[in-house]
């Protein structure tokens, strides 16, 4: 039995994003985002109710300040008391998990969407996704970019403007482009 392009996307396999089922999901999310982003002056309880309509999981007290942008929403799982500031972009072709108590600064970008290195596969419209996981009580500074497949551990700190290309262990601080883990307040020797 052949799997649908959406099933392939959710499994982290190569898929064609131009598939009608995937395009229909993007349109549904676009309509939802329009409603959500019109709630900037509304209380956080209203945000929570709307987030619960589209996101995979929304923990108690979780809030995302509009404007917010994502591909699908249903691949995003945010824990209790997560706070995400203005202008967050989450490309969620694969699962994005954000643990309880994590705070995310403004203009953070979280990408699960990836593209094949082979130019013929890209030209054919093939894509793939790799999940991103952010642990509990992490702090992601404003303007940080988290690339596909990255895991950030519990209590980790990501400096503002950092580009996170590799996993960051629990309790560590990483910063820079590419982000590097600091040891005792200093960058480790190269």
Q: What is the pLDDT of residue 1?
A: 78
* Residue stretches of the chain with pLDDT short of 50: 190
- Supply the pTM of this predicted model: 0.94
Tokens of 188: 């480790």
Give helix 44-54 / helix 20-37 axis angle, nearest 10°: 170
pLDDT reported for residue 142: 98
Per residue in 53-62, pLDDT tens? Answer: 999 999 999 9
Q: What is the pLDDT of residue 186?
A: 53
Please count the other Cβ atoms lying within 10 Å of the Cβ belonging to residue 56: 15
Distance of CA 34 to the CA centre of its chain: 19
Half-sphere exposure of 188 (CA within 13 A, CB side): 9
Q: pLDDT, tens digit, for every residue of 105-140?
A: 999 999 999 998 999 998 998 999 999 999 999 999
Q: Is 69 a catalytic residue?
A: no
């Amino acid at each position: 039995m052949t799997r649908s392009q959406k099933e392939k996307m959710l499994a982290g396999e190569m898929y064609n994003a131009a598939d009608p089922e995937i395009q229909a999901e993007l349109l549904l999310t676009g309509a939802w985002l329009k409603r959500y982003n019109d709630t900037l002056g509304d209380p956080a309880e209203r945000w929570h109710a709307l987030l619960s309509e589209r996101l995979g999981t929304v923990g108690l007290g979780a809030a995302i300040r509009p404007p917010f942008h994502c591909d699908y929403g249903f691949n995003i799982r945010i824990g209790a008391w997560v706070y995400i500031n203005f202008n967050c972009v989450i490309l969620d072709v694969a699962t994005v998990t954000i643990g309880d108590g994590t705070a995310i600064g403004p203009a953070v970008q979280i990408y699960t969407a990836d593209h094949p290195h082979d130019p013929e596969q890209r030209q054919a419209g093939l894509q793939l996704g790799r999940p991103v996981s952010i642990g509990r009580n992490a702090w992601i500074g404003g303007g940080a970019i988290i690339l596909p497949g990255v895991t950030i551990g519990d209590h980790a700190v990501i400096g503002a403007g950092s580009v996170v290309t590799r996993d960051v262990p629990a309790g560590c601080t990483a910063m820079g482009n590419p982000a590097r883990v600091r040891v005792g307040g200093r960058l480790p020797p190269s």
